[in-house]
Amino acid sequence: MRIADGYGVRLVAAMSLKLEAVTKRVGPEIHLQDIDLDIAPGSLTVLLGPTLAGKTSLMRLMAGLDRPTAGRVLVDGADVTGQSVKRRDVAMVYQQFINYPSFTVYENIASPLRRAGLGRDEIDRRVRSVAELLHIEGLLDRLPAALSGGQQQRTALARGLVKEAGLLLLDEPLVNLDYKLREELREELLSIFAERKSIVVYATTEPLEALMLGGNVVVLDEGRILQQGSTIDVYTRPASIRIGGIFSDPPINLIGGSVEQNRLVLGDVVVGPRTAHLGNVAVGQYSFGVRSNALYVNRRSDADMEIRGIVELSEISGSETFVHVAHNGVSWVAQEEGIHSFALGDSIDIYLDPAALFVFDWRGGLVAAPGRTTA
């Protein structure tokens, strides 16, 4: 589709991307196994997974930088599996700040446009507008080596965006930046993505980042897709313990227990009522999971269950405090708003609302999840 806008006529890609049973092996190692993905035009997909989950491998296959060992990659329904990256409509931003060191920021951003054979004025307009978007308009004459890390990554992002490729791949673009810069850039990126018509694929290890970006999430682990769906759905209903662990930071707290006729036993001492979503769970042994942000140092309601433990560690992160509490050999992490100090070794009570419990069966599959209001 060609449309006219403030930049003059340009091609607006509305690409769709499909991966069919894609497998990537390098020697004896399996990097990706049977990946099936269907990405709708103009959507934002977050690849979430721990390091070595295969996020980068998957992106490289989508880009056409690597060729899958088996399976097909389809763009707009056409098989592009073996097609060279030069002929794909793709832009990628790497985790490391990758720019052409010998080009100025301006030339870096302009290089994809120059190769595309655009006119001088058109290039100038587009470079300046994207530089303004990323607040690097004052740095256009500098070389990348003379920039800070954040500015270098902004340059790399600008080059990724300026091309208006149908597929924009971002491989943990913010991970090497400091906390404040990351927050700032993430917000800007969100508004930039909203205006894009291209597919955006964003890889991250951080659950919080995935939640902020929204869109769809694909949870990857050890080269397999564990779950995919809208980000908020996957967050509120992680299909297994492993997904709960990946999609929680700190990882979801787990404890074995049982659902009995009219009460709930966590570990072997804590007893609570069997309320809300637990009502439908059959009697038996289960693993219970609770996110740290649903554990409290103060009692909130009478229904709260009380867990007595010993403070192992207390870490302050930004405006939150994480308290690690040992209870019966299980370590729990509670996330408390504000900055608190807890003496190590002190006895402490932490509280949880049974309505916030995830219930998993012995294989690790989800049996019951809290309603959305508690998530």
Partner 1 sequence: MTLRKRHIGLLIYFGVLLLPIYWMLNMSLRTNADILGGFAFVPTDPTLDNYLKIFTDPSWYSGYINSIIYVSINTVISLSVALPAAYAFSRYRFFGDKHMFFWLLTNRMAPPAVFLLPFFQLYSTFGLIDTHIAVAISHCLFNVPLAVWILEGFMSGVPREIDEMAYMDGYSFPRFFGTIFVPLIRSGIGVTAFFCFMFSWVELLLARTLTTTDAKPIAATMTRTVSATGLDWGLLAAAGVLTIVPGALVIWFVRNHMAKGFALGRV
Site of interaction with partner 1 (CB under 8 A): 63, 65, 84-86, 88, 90-92, 94, 96, 98, 100-103, 111-112, 115-116, 159, 163
Shortest Å, Cβ 148 to partner 1: 19
Report the alpha-carbon distance of residue 37 to residue 201 in Å, rounded.
Answer: 12
Report the alpha-carbon distance of residue 221 to residue 240 in Å, rounded.
Answer: 12
Shortest Å, Cβ 116 to partner 1: 6
Residue 60 or 182 having the CB closest to partner 1: 60
Report the alpha-carbon distance of residue 28 to residue 108 in Å, rounded.
Answer: 38
Shortest Å, Cβ 235 to partner 1: 31
* 204-229 burial: b if 16+ Cβ within 10 Å, else e: bbbbebbbbbebbbbbbbebebbbbe
Within 8 A by CB and 6+ apart from 244, the residues are 238, 251, 252, 289, 358, 360, 366
Residue 199 or 334 having the CB closest to partner 1: 199
Shortest Å, Cβ 102 to partner 1: 4
Residue with the two structure tokens 């965006």: 161
Residue 88 or 126 having the CB closest to partner 1: 88
Residue with the two structure tokens 């439908």: 280
Shortest Å, Cβ 62 to partner 1: 12
Shortest Å, Cβ 113 to partner 1: 9
Length of the chain: 375
Least Cα distance to 225 among 39, 28, 42 occurs for 39
Residue 80 or 232 having the CB closest to partner 1: 80
Residue 81 or 293 having the CB closest to partner 1: 81
Report the alpha-carbon distance of residue 332 to residue 250 in Å, rounded.
Answer: 10
The CA distances from residue 43 to 2, 198, 213, 315, in Å, are 20, 7, 11, 37
Shortest Å, Cβ 109 to partner 1: 10
Sign, CA dihedral 189-190-191-193, equals positive
Shortest Å, Cβ 26 to partner 1: 10
Residue 43 or 95 having the CB closest to partner 1: 95
